[in-house]
Amino acid sequence: MRCLLTRLLPGAALGLFALTAAMAAEDIVLRGMGSFHVGGRIVEVSGKPVRTIVRQPGGPPSQLDPNGQYMVEQMYVQYFLPKNRKGKLPLLMWHGGGLTGVTYESTPDGREGWLNIFIRKGWDVYNSDAVERGRSGFASPDVWPSEPTFLPYADPFERFRIGDGAGSWNADPAKRRVLPENQFPVEAYENYMKQTVPRWLTTDDAIIAAYVALVDKICPCVILVHSQGGAFGFKVAEQRPDKIKAIVAIESATAGIVGKAAALKNTPILMVFGDYVDQHPRWAAFKKIDLEYAAAVRAGGGKVDVIYLPELGIKGNSHMMMQDKNNSQIAEVIQKWLAGKGLSN
Amino acid sequence: MRCLLTRLLPGAALGLFALTAAMAAEDIVLRGMGSFHVGGRIVEVSGKPVRTIVRQPGGPPSQLDPNGQYMVEQMYVQYFLPKNRKGKLPLLMWHGGGLTGVTYESTPDGREGWLNIFIRKGWDVYNSDAVERGRSGFASPDVWPSEPTFLPYADPFERFRIGDGAGSWNADPAKRRVLPENQFPVEAYENYMKQTVPRWLTTDDAIIAAYVALVDKICPCVILVHSQGGAFGFKVAEQRPDKIKAIVAIESATAGIVGKAAALKNTPILMVFGDYVDQHPRWAAFKKIDLEYAAAVRAGGGKVDVIYLPELGIKGNSHMMMQDKNNSQIAEVIQKWLAGKGLSN
């Protein structure tokens, strides 16, 4: 084994962004805020052998008996209820893969994220961490027989249309090949990577079950979904079409099940895509899947609007557009659509 | 392998607590709120063999190359800045082992936790998830060569002085042996267990490094620490005595390093203990360690106040007193002490 450890720059200058940005705007007046967990189950692990593990590197081996009852597959949700409520329904924000609800909080460079922005627009916002991520916790290998996966440092830079695809990352910031007019705060990329968390590839059913539990608790509602969260969002909506009154899908990474799309005939859908989607095969492929799903919804009598931001003259948006420098501009595009559907005063 | 899966009760009745409690109180007016990560490092994993893993149970084996750069050991912090600021310094809340900042949010039965309560008292509150827990994420076995540990369902009930020690848990709620005058919302124990997360036993140095990074970013400040968070808090304070202006230690589970305690001569300390501490050997042992540390601080010229809640006539408090039914009463005891030290208007 060989590990090269590189200390990061202290980043003190970046860190100050968070406070200055937050205090620049008007007060946020809440009639309530809090958190809760939904879903989950008690699992009883039994019949497993007692294992010998080393609890501390270099320390003595010790025994671990994994048998017993555990709480697993619950989901964490934090909510903020503005006093000046204008959204007619709760707005649920569901993040993408390898991330948590932090996606919607302060941006990596410390500006306000969509959580604050939509609270300020008068929405009751419920921001969650999908099962097995963040404050939802995760289960042991005795419950989930697969390993978590870890996101390499340069991966989102190349894959999320911050850099210009494979090979665009370089350890030297000056040599990174950033997309023209890129809106992502690349100078704070390190902070973005701090937001990432491991994920499993085998927990989709548990994640969907917890989202359904959330919908059953809080909705009728609007859901705003991003990337992998879209794959979950559309499938949950197919199961609870009467409770999900609108879907805003930000570059949904796969969508619902085409054969069930007609369930959404009464649920207006907005799909939003950033810049350079067609130039990057991975995103072109996701877009194709989304549009095929949109066609199926329409064929079932539903309504889907698709916005390509560059067609509105909004250029350079990455896959993480809720953190991009023009994130408030995009939030306003979404707000206008929601208001047009009669969902906000 | 044999796994018995037990579906939980939907718990809809419990779930509603969160909303009703939050809306009963006065508005929360914030001049800002947001989140950030501190600390962390980029680790380069190299020379590791490519492993064959099964990504989906029953699926085909696939290759996993763990080599490359990863962001690890960062810490998540969420902050709320009340408009009517009365606390003279930021108040940092550090949770205990197997938990996250959720400890201080809504209680398992949906009342307001100390996060809301101290915001309402006018404190700028910074609530964090220790490294490797919650929204801080965790590192791969290639970086941390030990396994996480998972908390069995009944364990905190018996260990945290909710029930009367070992053997007090029973699957049948009617047969659980709860301590007399117990203040923990036992009817919501299931929700409490949903707050728990796995933890490692080998990450103390990384956790302390991230807390030091937080202190360097935000302080001078007051820290409020609980259980394992106390072990970290006192050690961090020994490293940054000029930046930590007071410590409120809720049943600290071990304290600092006795030989370094004199560093805290100018940092007033409050230690708070709940009920039944002396009757339960584990807590009596922690109390003994804490008091020995307090003696060392005093010998170095420092000041430590110790409050045993039962001596104030406040009975039945568990180790999770910030979630107990009388949590606002205990918060007021702490607030009075802080005001007495000139730290709050």
Residues A278-303 have a mean pLDDT of: 97
pLDDT at B227 over 60: yes
- Looking at residue B146, what is its pLDDT? 84
- Looking at residue A53, what is its pLDDT? 80
- Looking at residue A12, what is its pLDDT? 38
Q: Which tens digit of pLDDT belongs to each residue from B69-83?
A: 999 999 999 999 999
**Interchain pair B27, A105: CB under 8 A:** no
pLDDT at A91 over 50: yes
Residues A121-130 have a mean pLDDT of: 98
Please state which of the ranges A14-18, A47-51, A185-189, A260-264 shows the lowest mean pLDDT.
A14-18
- Looking at residue A64, what is its pLDDT? 83
Nearest CA in chain A to B129: A135
Contact yes or no for B73/B36 (Cβ under 8 A):
no
pLDDT at A143 over 70: yes
Residues B202-222 have a mean pLDDT of: 97
Task: Tell me whether A2 touches chain B (CB under 8 Å).
Answer: yes
Higher-pLDDT residue of B23 and A282 is: A282
Calculate how close chain A gets to B89, using CA atoms only, in Å: 15
Q: Which tens digit of pLDDT belongs to each residue from B96-149?
A: 999 999 999 999 999 999 999 999 999 999 999 999 999 999 999 999 988 899
% pLDDT > 90, chain A: 86
- Looking at residue A145, what is its pLDDT? 83
pLDDT at B12 over 50: no
Which of A129, A44, A21 lies closest to A78, judged by CA? Answer: A129
% pLDDT > 70, chain B: 92
- Looking at residue B24, what is its pLDDT? 54
- Looking at residue A19, what is its pLDDT? 46
pTM, two decimal places: 0.93
Q: What is the ipTM of this complex?
A: 0.93
**Interchain pair B30, A28: CB under 8 A:** yes
- Looking at residue B289, what is its pLDDT? 97
The one-letter amino acid at A227: S
- Looking at residue B2, what is its pLDDT? 32
Calculate how close chain A gets to B7, using CA atoms only, in Å: 5
**Interchain pair A64, B33: CB under 8 A:** no
The one-letter amino acid at B71: M
The one-letter amino acid at B2: R
**Interchain pair A28, B32: CB under 8 A:** yes
Nearest CA in chain A to B7: A41
Nearest CA in chain A to B67: A152
Please state which of the ranges A332-336, B50-54, B275-279 shows the lowest mean pLDDT.
B50-54
**Interchain pair B137, A202: CB under 8 A:** no
Average pLDDT for chain B: 92
> Pick from B10, B41, B134: which is nearest to A6 by CB?
B41
* pLDDT band for position B13 (cuts 50, 70, 90): very low
Q: What is the 3-state secondary structure (H, E, C) of chain B?
A: CEEEEEECCCCHHHHHHHHHHHHHCCCEEEEEEEEEEEEEEEEEEECCCCEEEECCCCCCEEEECCCEEEEEEEEEEEEEEECCCCECCCEEEECCCCCCHHHHCCCCCCCCCHHHHHHHCCCCEEEEECCCCHHHCCCCCCCCCCCCECCCCCHHHHHCCCECCCCCCCCCHHHCCECCCCCCCHHHHHHHHHHCCCECCCCHHHHHHHHHHHHHHHCCEEEEEECHHHHHHHHHHHHCCCCEEEEEEECCCCCCCHHHHHHHCCCCEEEEECCCCCCCHHHHHHHHHHHHHHHHHHHCCCCEEEEEHHHHCCCCCCCCCCCCCCHHHHHHHHHHHHHHCCCEC
Average pLDDT for chain A: 92
- Looking at residue A24, what is its pLDDT? 54
Q: Which tens digit of pLDDT belongs to each residue from B139-178?
A: 999 999 888 999 999 999 999 999 999 999 998 999 999 9
Task: Tell me whether B85 touches chain A (CB under 8 Å).
Answer: no
Cα separation, A205 vs A198, whole angstroms: 17
* pLDDT band for position A267 (cuts 50, 70, 90): very high
- Looking at residue B329, what is its pLDDT? 98
- Looking at residue B17, what is its pLDDT? 46
Nearest CA in chain B to A193: B71
Task: Tell me whether B112 touches chain A (CB under 8 Å).
Answer: yes
User: Among the ranges A145-159, B43-57, B227-241, which has the highest mean pLDDT value?
Assistant: B227-241
